[in-house]
Amino acid sequence: MTFRTIIPGEVPHREMHQILLGGVAPRPVAFVASLSPDGTANLSPFSFFNAYSSKPPTIAIGPAIAARTGIAKDTYLNILDTGECTVNAVTYAMTEQASLASSEYPRGVDEFTKAGFTKRASQAVAPPLVAESPFSLECKLVEHYPIRRDIGGNGVILILEAIRAHIAEEVMTDGEIDPHKIDLVGRMNGDWYCRAHGDAIFEVKKPRTVGIGFDALPDFIRTSEILTGAELAKLAGVNEKPVAEISFQLPDGLPDDTFAAAKIMLAQNNTAAAWQLLLRAV
C-alpha cells in the first residue's frame, strides 16, 4: 500500500471532515428526537454517535456548530435547554426519510411531520420516540463537552445516559437483538450508507481462551502463501499447540491437497481438523 499522510491544520476543514467520515466508517446513525422549550418536536440524524458504557448505559452524539456560520444545530440547543432526548435506531426502510429529516428546517419545524414519522410517547422523558424504529433509548444529558474552542474547534460532544431502552419483539430471537432481523444502516462518507443485511453480517467467534498467537505457529504454516491472515488467526486462536493424532477422524471427501483441505475446514470453523491436516503434512 502507498500512504498519503494528512496534517489536519494543513488541509481545508471540508477535506478533513470527509477524510474522517471515510475512514471512521461505517458509523451507526442516531435518530435524535428533542423538544424546544415551547414543546415543538425536532428529529435529526447524527452519525457522530456511539455507545461508550453499559453501566450506566451511556452514549454520545456530536452535533457540530457550523464552521462557516457558527450556527448551532437545533438538536444541540434543545438538549442543552431541556436536558433530554430520545435516540432511535435507523433501519434500511427508514433511511430515505431520515435523510429528508436532516434538511435544514428552521427551528420550530417538526421533522416528524416533514419526514413522515410517527410519535410514540416516551415513559421517562418528554421528547417522543420514533414509532417506526425497532430500538430506542430515552436519554438524559450528562455532560456537554465543547471540543477545543481555544483553537477554533467547532465540534461538540453531548454525553447522554439512557434511562429506558425499548426493543421491538419482532427484531429479537431468544431474548436477544437479532442482527439479521433489525436491518440497521451505517453511514459512510459522501452520500453512501451500508446495510447490515445478508452477507454483510458475518460471525467471528470470540476467542474462548488466550490464543497461542501467530509467533507460535510452525514456520511452514505461518509463512505459507496459501493461508490468509484470517485463516492463520483461526489456527493461532487455539490455547495450546495441537499434536498430531493418528486417530483423529477427518471428514470424508476432502481434497488431497493439504492446504486446500485445511482451508475448507477453517471456513467451516473446524479448526481442530485443519490443525490435524496440517500436522500430518509435516
- For 235, the 3-state DSSP assignment is helix
State the nearest-atom distance from the C-beta of 152 to ligand FMN, in Å.
Answer: 16
Site residues (vs ligand FMN, CB under 6 A): 29, 42, 44-48, 62-64, 73-75, 99, 102, 104, 187
Residue 20: alpha-carbon gap to chain centroid:
15
d(CA 216, CA 97): 52
State the nearest-atom distance from the C-beta of 178 to ligand FMN, in Å.
Answer: 23
Which residues contact residue 112 at a Cβ distance below 8 angstroms, ignoring those fewer than 6 apart? 33, 41, 43, 118, 119, 128, 130
Helix, strand, coil % in the chain, rounded to nearest 5: 30, 25, 45
Which residue, 103 or 173, has its beta carbon nearer to ligand FMN?
103
Which residue, 70 or 229, has its beta carbon nearer to ligand FMN?
70
Q: Look up residue 263 and give its three cell numbers.
A: 482451508
State the nearest-atom distance from the C-beta of 193 to ligand FMN, in Å.
Answer: 7
State the nearest-atom distance from the C-beta of 173 to ligand FMN, in Å.
Answer: 27
State the nearest-atom distance from the C-beta of 125 to ligand FMN, in Å.
Answer: 17
Give me the residue label for grid cell 470424508.
252
Which residue, 104 or 245, has its beta carbon nearer to ligand FMN?
104
Which residue, 114 or 164, has its beta carbon nearer to ligand FMN?
114
d(CA 47, CA 262): 41
Q: What is the sign of the dihedral through the CA atoms of 134, 140, 143 and 146?
A: positive
State the nearest-atom distance from the C-beta of 163 to ligand FMN, in Å.
Answer: 22
Which residue, 102 or 270, has its beta carbon nearer to ligand FMN?
102
Rounded to 10 deg, the angle between the 229-236 and 258-267 helix axes is 80
Which residue, 75 or 82, has its beta carbon nearer to ligand FMN?
75
- For 102, the 3-state DSSP assignment is coil
d(CA 162, CA 237): 36
